[in-house]
Amino acid sequence: MPQTLPGWILFAAMLVSAMATSVTATRLFMQVAGRIPRDWRDIPASYAFGTLLIISTMLFLHVEPSP
């Protein structure tokens, strides 16, 4: 678990971006399957949330001290 305030902030950013990435990726798969109408805003949203997830994870690993 995080031990510093920046660690907690990055941990929260990881959780939020992971949930948002999974939601947008699920919507993209449902669009491909034809279950919901296409919304092209989901593609940049999934890229943005995926990038936020990667960056916040890397910063979290850099900021938090290892045990």
pLDDT digits 0-9 by tens, 12-49:
999 999 999 999 999 999 999 999 998 889 999 999 99
At residue 67, does pLDDT exceed 80?
A: no
- Confidence (pLDDT) at 13: 96
pTM: 0.84
Using an 8 Å Cβ cutoff, are 60 and 11 in contact? yes
Q: Which of 44, 54, 59, 50 is nearest to 22 (CA)?
A: 50
pLDDT score of 65:
82
